Chain A
Amino acid sequence: MINKLVSTVSEAVSGVFDGATIMIGGFGEAGSPIELIHALVDQGAKDLTIVSNNTGSGEVGLAALIAHKRVRKMICSFPRTANSTVFPELYKKGEIELELVPQGTLAERIRAGGAGIPAFYTPTSFGTPLAEGKETRIFDGVTYVMENAIKADFALVKARSADRYGNLIYNKTARNFGPIMCTAAKTTLVQVQHFVDLGDIDPEIVVTPGIFVQHVVVVENPADESKLVAENRRYPW
Chain B
Amino acid sequence: MVEKAELQGWDINEMAQKVALDIPDGAYVNLGIGIPEKVAAFVPEGREVIYHTENGLLGMGKTPEAGKEDPELINAGKKAVTTIPGACFFHHADSFTMIRGKHIDVCVLGALQVAANGDLANWSTGEPGAIPAVGGAMDLVAGVKTIYVITRHTTKTGESKIVKQCSYPLTGKAVVNRIYTNLAVIDVRETGLFVRELAPGISFEYLQSQTEARLNP
Contacts and interface: CB of A to CB of B under 8 A. Distances in A.
Interface of A: 27-31, 77-82, 87-88, 91-92, 98, 100-108, 110-111, 122-130, 170-180, 207, 224-226
B170 to A, nearest CB: 5
A111 B131 contact: no
A74 to B, nearest CB: 11
Given A27-B55, A77-B133, A104-B96, A172 B70 contact: yes
Contact of B172 (A104, A122, A128): A128
B89 A128 contact: no
Contact of B169 (A101, A129, A224): A129
B71 A125 contact: no
B97 to A, nearest CB: 8
B72 to A, nearest CB: 4
Nearest to A128: B170
Contacts of B182: none
Contacts of A28: 74, 78
Contacts of A178: 91
A30 B74 contact: yes
Contacts of A91: 131
6 contacts: A30-B55, A103-B139, A107-B95, A128-B172, A172-B70, A173-B56
Given A28-B74, A172-B57, 17 more contacts: A77-B135, A78-B133, A102-B136, A102-B138, A102-B139, A104-B92, A104-B100, A104-B136, A108-B100, A171-B72, A172-B72, A173-B56, A173-B57, A174-B72, A175-B56, A175-B89, A180-B92
Contact of A77 (B129, B134, B143, B170): B134
Nearest to A224: B71
Interface in B130-157: 131-139, 142-143
Contacts of B57: 172-173
Nearest to A114: B93
Interface string B88-119: 01111101100110000000000000000001
Given A78-B133, A104-B136, A108-B96, A127 B74 contact: no
Contacts of A101: 134
Interface in B67-94: 70-75, 78, 83, 89-93
B160 interface: no
